[in-house]
Amino acid sequence: MSARHIAESVFDAVYLTASLSLAIGLFAAEKALWGAAVLTLFVGDCLHLVPRIRRFATGKPCAAERLGKAAASVTMTLFYVLLWWRAALLSSVDAVSATAVITLAAVRVALCFVPRSFSKDEPSFLPLLRNVPFVALGAVAATQLGMLFPPRAAALAAAIAIALSFVFYLPVVALSKRDPKVGALMIPKSCTYLVLAALGFAI
């Protein structure tokens, strides 16, 4: 296993441990909805990252990795739905916003199961298409959280963290197949998710 693969595997293990710890802490702090969002994210990331760590360790392709990527895409979608729901419970929410969240989430999940998705020969337009509703969903969730400021400063910080996560994520979607080094941006993206999870204690 190369030094890069060792470093990535260690980071992934630390990230998963921190995610689970934060989810448990949120439930203990009676922040059940935010805790459910973080736990959902953890489950999807496990399905994605554990097969990848196994591939790094053995040097052999892992058939579960493709399914794990699809599962992680679905759970990331649910993660934002749950964050939006938490913010909606703390503020006024209109039917338009609720309809937008449900529609965007449904379209995103459906696109995750289009034939050839997440395969080695996936058409280049599919990741971009799949992430259009995802970005829109993130924007709706961030806006709903931003509406809680003031007096909840942590909610504004959460909205900023969501925006930053997409700043790191979208170049990976657009460029990583042509330049695999761009994939390193998933590390700061994962860190913003941990910050976002931790902010739930104050929201």
Q: Does residue 144 contact residue 88 with C-beta atoms inside 8 Å?
A: yes
Structurally, the chain folds into a number of domains equal to: 1
This prediction has a pTM of 0.94
Confidence at 4, pLDDT banded by 50, 70, 90: confident
Residue 172: give the domain boundaries: 3-202
User: How far is C-alpha 168 from the geometric centre of its chain's CA atoms?
Assistant: 12
pLDDT(93) > 90: no
* Angle of CA points 160, 181, 188, to nearest 5°: 25
pLDDT tens digits, one per residue of 132-181: 999 999 999 999 999 998 888 999 999 999 999 999 999 999 998 889 88
Average pLDDT of the chain? 94
**Strands (E) located in 3-151:** none
Q: Does residue 19 contact residue 42 with C-beta atoms inside 8 Å?
A: yes
Mean pLDDT, rounded, for 10-19? 97
Closest residue by Cα to residue 140 from 189, 97, 108, 94: 97
The pLDDT of residue 3 is 87
The CATH number of the domain holding residue 69 is: 1.20.1070
